[in-house]
Structure 1
Amino acid sequence: MNGHDFSLAGTPLVALGSGALYWPSEGLLCISDLHLGKSERRARLGDGYLPPYETQDTLTRLENDLRLTEATTVICLGDSFDDRAAAQALREEEKLWIAALQAGRRWVWIEGNHDPGPVELGGTHLAELPLPPLLFRHIAKPGQSGEISGHYHPKTTLRTRGRAITRPAFLIDADRVIMPAYGTYTGGLRSDDRVFTDLMRDEAIAVLTGPVPHAVPLPRR
């Protein structure tokens, strides 16, 4: 499997190159910040045009990850939609696609700051989900242990052979994982930003997503 193996709170996990997190013993796949419908929201608010293909691209990658892992539980870690209106504006074939992905699986939508209310789709809607020894929520809280969160869309730059490669990244230490954004049209916050240095331990690592996930010490300012 294309991923970086590590443990959090004694729990073996895999950071996949796609940006999804896999918990093998539980058959659980976690993804964060899909921001489905971002192009629709941008157009609706007059913020500029984006080609309206991000939902199909994101769902295609998710379908591939589900096929790869055979996960029976899926946790969407907040900001699954760019706002509630974007969820309601999904095309019928996209709603049916999500329903097909949910079939036969436990599916949990964690509330995010972009989608604080329930959406009219299948699955369970929760503010956060404790699955001891782990806890799944949208935004990290200081002083937590075993926490898996998203929200910040971390990205990291790797410099090699005179080139700089910037990719979405998992941030990992002994207490927490901050997930990269899974959605196609999501931006990112540099992993040396003060918000991460305040949250992450000194020994934290960043795992760059991509065909071959690559772990590096968390960049610090």
Structure 2
Amino acid sequence: MAASPSAGPGRGVLDAGFQILEAVSAAPEGCGLSQLARATGLAKATAYRLAEQLVALGAVQRVEQRYFVGERMAELGRHWQAAPTLSRAVQRPSRILAAVTNSTVAVCILDAGEVRLVSGLKGAEFFLGTIADPELIYRTALAQVLFAGRADNTVPPPTYSATEWQRVYSGIVDAGMVSVDHHKLIAGICCAAAAIRQPGTCDAAAIGCVSLSQQFPPNLPGLVAHAAREIEKNLR
């Protein structure tokens, strides 16, 4: 017999409601009532009652006899921030870096091994989104610094052998946690990235500057590293 939403610690109505949302979001073709009850472990009557309450709130939509994610959840999701504190701390240093270099600036974190944009200026989302090969992102200066800044930084990122990563990692450490791409990844594009140390956490963060200059700006790594230090001051 399925447990009621109030049975046992941590199994309140709110928990059960989120279980409904998780089950619905995991079913792109919609979730019927029986499927909903099986996925959540709730009684059919309870699953139906909670699902209909979520429909009334706009968090779930019902099409015939199947439930889908509602418009209200999509609207709330658009306001989600990957790292709110970091996002506030990077605003002024990022704007100054973008203005001084006339370049694209991106601040990223690692989220479950994926490079996630926290804040970007002058087309950062477009640049990261147009890298054709999804594995190519791990070859960017930004990704290299992020993986070098992890707690388990000796583990190679995807696409790297252990020997290659050790060479790349050593170079980043020797450069003061800065990585530089001299037109190697994409012709006509150079990039410099620096690690951002966040107090009280080992979470990896980095700021990168992408320039379309045919000649690699000689002061670009220093400017990016300076922006990273300013962000760290803001975080403190």
More strand by share: 1
TM over 0.5: no
TM-score of the superposition, structure 1-length normalised? 0.25
More helix by share: 2
Greater gyration radius: 2
